[in-house]
Structure 1
């Protein structure tokens, strides 16, 4: 290039008259080149290497014509293209059928190359359509191959295929592997019978695929917006014309730039809706084409009103219901083969089976597009409610038995959206959705597996459906998916829900769940980034065997060291679970100092303090080891400062009460009294009497106080506490009642002088309802004493049952209104479980009457008995007076009279 001053020289000729002869000369040269190329393609490299820059100075029309004529030779052939294939100005590849080669380990991809050139007016025009196919050799396919990865590799390397074809290629690879396994023997036997069978199979498969090729070829006819009126006329003609018209309009609807033009043609839209309503039952192709058009509209929320105005949603529900009825009828007649969409490997399909498979493929495409349309319309909650009334959940549940991967993905996605509502979830439970989903865990298609896991995660919020998941044996399968990175969070969330209930925790023990969770905890130092992981670990370690499995080797040391070093409250929840199991408690002794130091550290957060103090509170076996640390770290003053109801958080307050009981020993008992902890905890019982958890733990701490003289004396001086402990015997919470009764028994054992009073209070507490009833009836029955006395005088040998019953009740209460009782037989909660279950009223009656069997005087009988040996049980005797009936029956049997 020559320099001409500082400005670069443009090598292209200017648009001047002097350039035209040169242009004409160059045109003549290229014309000769074209003629030479048409005769002999070997001159392509010579001609295509020349520049086309001279076209800039030509007339535009002439230049475009020449460019269109020479373009096939302007680009060198690609190495992967077939010989003789031309490269036009614009080339579009339309993929078609993908199938297996019948007698080889290869896949054939059918496609059509559509070539177009520029018109002189600048528009493109299709000048050639060439069907072609690409053969992909499958190598290295074995039973241990990763078919999903292999399918992705094939799709990525083949330019004709797109990522959406990966599931189809994966399915073909599975069929190829099955065909190899089934046909491995016949390949080497060389028998004529096997060769004939293989030939028949290939012919049958070719027949099956021919229809698919024709369908794809028919859809390649180009539709134009200018012909909408023509398509409208076809909708009023025969069925074939209606199908063709709907296909053309559907083809136009695939391009978003045509949407406004189609919607503007209201007559055409209305005619299509009418045809769908009237003739939709007659043809699957017609129905699918029209619904596909409205599906294209449903992708845009602003067009939903058009669909609703023409009642397309209602018609779609009717079509789905019809197709389901047809399928169920075929299933009853033909069995599971009625749902086949692909030939069974190793078999030769008949003509009827080929037609059934074609019908199923069409039906699944129709169902897919119909459900997708409804899913888009379900953006409006009101429309979704209408779908629910039309049994959309039932229809979707029935689709889970289908074999189309795309349809299954759509159905599970739709069900997941619906499952957030209680009524829809209940219908899914009735339709046994979990049982149907269990088939897909695991499955080869990752997208489908993710959708299934998401749906199961939503359903697992329901306790009954969690039981269904466990019943179907999904826990071991889900544990096996924990190592898959893309599935890990979903699986962790689902396993966490399943581990909430204690009855399911033991199901995890035989699996690798504990070891995998431990490995993941070690790999992920930030527990906040994976909350499902630490939550699952906490739930699992609540089970003793799971906790022991996690602590095997150096597992315990790794977890507790990390918790102390990282000051992580979530890790300490795990440590606190360890401290609940007796076999693991001894391993905490070397870490007591570190735990107490962490508890007293000023930077310790409230959440961490709760977990650390809860851990220390569980270590009852280490009470003696804590004695030195209590003094060294001044723990009693620390605990006393944290008992301030209304100021200190309730969680911390509860753990302080528990830890105080754990630290109570012979050496620390005086310090507990002098620090005021005993009095503060007594006051806490009276202030928090409505909090069952607090009351239960305070009673536990009282039981620890009763073990040592200093704290026992301080506690027993508080008479109000003893009275309230008696009142707790009426609580509905059995744990509180049992603990309160235990503390009262310890008080009676420690103070014999207070024992009678406490026994009387316990008796009145247990039998308060019966005593109130006796007092009320006694007042009424005193008025009838004279009449009953006359009745006894008239019939001294067989006194009335009512009279004797009344006399017995009168004897139950002393002159001051207090009932008598025997100290050794006073009811206690500890004796309830062991005594009341085996207690026999008749045997008990015989026992306490035996000393007075020889007495003949009824008055002496009642006076001697004094109700000393009566075992008062509110459940048995308080309301129906069963004891009195037994006494009277005994008297009648042995001849005693009252």
Structure 2
């Protein structure tokens, strides 16, 4: 029975109501008693028989604000029992005990209460139209629900009264039990949200109050309020686009509309109401996004694109919410990729810097999350964020986050030169050495040897890994910067010890490994600081963290440029240790590449060349890796094998034969299959040599005696067709099958895998 019909039914029949008292308890946070009671209502027919009955559990809060340490508990208890008919006189002693407990309960601060209840931010700015003259009463909820069946004004008034109740957390449990009220609100929202922005905002606000507490999320989900909010947001964003198009079609830009005060005020009023609706709807979705499954559903409904589109607004409170939502979403790869597909960085760039401190802070944190993506870092530079971020280094509130983003940008070689057009380097340097940034004399020193001296002195004194990492990055640059380090080689080498912090040693080793300076006497350094035993011990798999072992390999590659150092390393037995490490780390591209580079350096010198060729299986490894899918590894292997082939005739033949087989694999397969079908002798002789003396391998490819080269058989075997197969011939041949790892010995292939190049730890 709805509306007036319901009231008519009650008038024609007798109505009977019984109240039964229940349990007593204290309020968890206030000076109040909570009385639980039960109301049983019955509608009687004309003959006095029961026609309809209902039973409802309720509670009443009795506040005793006057209660203090000097209060007479007995007198107060009697007064409470006398005035509250829900409490039977027999419970007087129980009331006294509860009041005594309240009197002695430790008073908790507002902050402690919030922490205890784990309440999320829920106090939105009151919206226009929410104000009402009357005070909402929890006992009149049914009356408010009846208003939801009337006209639009009555619906808004009834929803507003229920909202005023919902804003008090103490009423949420009571409202939760009233399924009729919640169901009516959900139905009205579903049917009438397009008819009134005020009505939609008010009802969503009611459910937002529930969403502020995790235990009520199931309720909000049950009524599908989240899906409704997604529809509302999408609709309002489209309406905004229509408003903009309409303004443009009439030639009314915002600047011109200002001249038409009436039209401008109307436009502003519509915009304010719409942004209030967007804010409460997005806030509700943000609360529900605690559950990653719910968040995934939002992502599937294009929540990221909606949020990014909202970044064009000027409302700072709305922008704080939108950017916070995007920051939460950005920790998942799929959401980050969605942000990369739209102009997220471009829209965020206009907010850096801004006067709203909270908005600027959350924007920088979102940019920091996005800066882990190479493509998005590129966008940041393109839209001019580099000088903007640099300007924030002088702001204590935002300096740390801005510096983290700048660090990520500085990782890419293509952007390093752009820092020269900002004052980033002087500011960071001055910050590190605790000098005043106003000193022009010191600014000049930052770009000279004295600036490096100050940095090095501080890094060695504090044993600071981060500061040493910065010094290591400086040492990567060719030219004068490397020569500035010659005077500090001894200081750095002295840190290479098992007693030092491993993270600090990694940075010192990396800095030394970057010093590829011909004039540097590495033999003297190795002897003076007894580094060879340390390097050899750290080559053992599992002897240290992989990062440290990798830096040791890189260091060996650097010092092996020196002939006397290479001989010293060969005598120490370091080469077999490197072979063993290659066996252990064959799945790691960077380890393999750096170890092959060590072989490349060592085959230049007679002493180490003989050991590698005669006493180890290194050449066989190199032949295996000659066809590796990693271009860097292939390049170093080819150069190393060319040197080995030049100095050793036997290995030269094996290398030439393997290159021949590789470049002619399709032709060989075709001929072999034809020979097998026709029963002719196998293409290879008993000794494994080819029976085609008219073909040989040269640096330009496989060339027949006539000098002609077949484009079908001798094209680049590493070029990829669109279908992922290598274009070794007219139809191509597929090298994507095979084992999943590099072979330990002999010849073989492996599937393609992406090679990640870390600029911070390798050449």
SS at match of 2:395: coil
Which of the two has greater helix per residue?
1
Alignment of 1:236-635 (within 5 A): 236-260=149-173, 262-263=175-176, 266-335=179-248, 347-523=258-434, 551-552=447-448, 554-583=450-479, 584-599=481-496, 601-621=497-517, 624-635=520-531
Alignment of 1:182-261 (within 5 A): 219=132, 221-225=134-138, 228=141, 230-260=143-173
* C-alpha separation in 2, matches of 1:771 and 1:278: 70
The Cα of 1:702 is off from its aligned counterpart by: 3.9
Alignment of 1:76-225 (within 5 A): 219=132, 221-225=134-138
The partner residue of 2:715 within 857, 869, 875 is 875
Q: What is the CA deviation profile of residues 175-224 of structure 1, one whole-angstrom value per residue up to 9, with x for unaligned ones?
A: xxxxxxxxxxxxxxxxxxxxxxxxxxxxxxxxxxxxx9xx6796455445
Q: TM-score, normalised by structure 1?
A: 0.56
* C-alpha separation in 2, matches of 1:382 and 1:783: 60
The Cα of 1:580 is off from its aligned counterpart by: 3.1
Q: Is 1:818 equivalent to 2:712 in the alignment?
A: no
- State the partner residue of 2:658: 765
- State the partner residue of 1:157: none
Aligned length: 590
Q: What is the CA deviation profile of residues 374-400 of structure 1, one whole-angstrom value per residue up to 9, with x for unaligned ones?
A: 333333444434444444334333322
The Cα of 1:445 is off from its aligned counterpart by: 1.6
- State the partner residue of 1:777: 671
- State the partner residue of 2:68: none
SS at match of 2:397: coil
- State the partner residue of 1:197: none
Paired residues of 1:223 and 1:252 also in contact (CA < 8 A): yes
Paired residues of 2:522 and 2:565 also in contact (CA < 8 A): no
Paired residues of 2:482 and 2:515 also in contact (CA < 8 A): yes
SS at match of 1:563: helix
* C-alpha separation in 1, matches of 2:609 and 2:149: 100
The Cα of 1:558 is off from its aligned counterpart by: 1.9
* C-alpha separation in 2, matches of 1:597 and 1:471: 43
* C-alpha separation in 2, matches of 1:621 and 1:305: 67
* C-alpha separation in 2, matches of 1:561 and 1:879: 57
* C-alpha separation in 2, matches of 1:338 and 1:267: 50
- Cα pair distance change 1:486/1:709, threshold 3 Å: same
Larger mean Cα displacement after TM superposition, 355-364 or 381-390: 381-390
Q: Which has the higher contact order (CA 8 A, sep 6+)?
A: 2
Larger mean Cα displacement after TM superposition, 766-775 or 568-577: 766-775
Paired residues of 1:729 and 1:765 also in contact (CA < 8 A): no
- Cα pair distance change 1:718/1:684, threshold 3 Å: farther
- Cα pair distance change 1:500/1:336, threshold 3 Å: farther
Unaligned runs of 5+ in 2: 1-121, 436-443, 718-726, 731-763
The Cα of 1:764 is off from its aligned counterpart by: 0.6
Paired residues of 2:713 and 2:728 also in contact (CA < 8 A): no
The Cα of 1:766 is off from its aligned counterpart by: 0.4
- Cα pair distance change 1:744/1:816, threshold 3 Å: closer
Paired residues of 1:393 and 1:424 also in contact (CA < 8 A): yes
Paired residues of 1:766 and 1:874 also in contact (CA < 8 A): no
Paired residues of 2:712 and 2:729 also in contact (CA < 8 A): no
* C-alpha separation in 1, matches of 2:615 and 2:413: 40
- Cα pair distance change 1:618/1:781, threshold 3 Å: same
The Cα of 1:609 is off from its aligned counterpart by: 3.3
What value does the CA root-mean-square deviation take over the aligned residues?
4.7
Q: What is the CA deviation profile of residues 222-260 of structure 1, one whole-angstrom value per residue up to 9, with x for unaligned ones?
A: 445565555445444443333333333333433344445
The Cα of 1:784 is off from its aligned counterpart by: 7.3
Paired residues of 2:628 and 2:634 also in contact (CA < 8 A): yes
Paired residues of 2:666 and 2:728 also in contact (CA < 8 A): no
SS at match of 1:352: helix
Paired residues of 1:339 and 1:357 also in contact (CA < 8 A): no
* C-alpha separation in 1, matches of 2:293 and 2:212: 18
Paired residues of 2:712 and 2:728 also in contact (CA < 8 A): no
Q: What is the CA deviation profile of residues 145-197 of structure 1, one whole-angstrom value per residue up to 9, with x for unaligned ones?
A: xxxxxxxxxxxxxxxxxxx99x99xxxxxxxxxxxxxxxxxxxxxxxxxxxxx
Q: What is the CA deviation profile of residues 703-742 of structure 1, one whole-angstrom value per residue up to 9, with x for unaligned ones?
A: 4444444444444443744454444433333433443443
- State the partner residue of 1:736: 633
The Cα of 1:368 is off from its aligned counterpart by: 1.8
* C-alpha separation in 2, matches of 1:220 and 1:458: 47
Q: Is 1:676 equivalent to 2:573 in the alignment?
A: yes
Paired residues of 1:730 and 1:766 also in contact (CA < 8 A): no
* C-alpha separation in 2, matches of 1:489 and 1:717: 55
Q: What is the CA deviation profile of residues 825-869 of structure 1, one whole-angstrom value per residue up to 9, with x for unaligned ones?
A: 853xxx5xxx56xx9x8xx987x59xxxxxxxxxxxxxxxxxxx9
Paired residues of 2:715 and 2:729 also in contact (CA < 8 A): no
Paired residues of 1:419 and 1:455 also in contact (CA < 8 A): yes
The Cα of 1:474 is off from its aligned counterpart by: 2.0
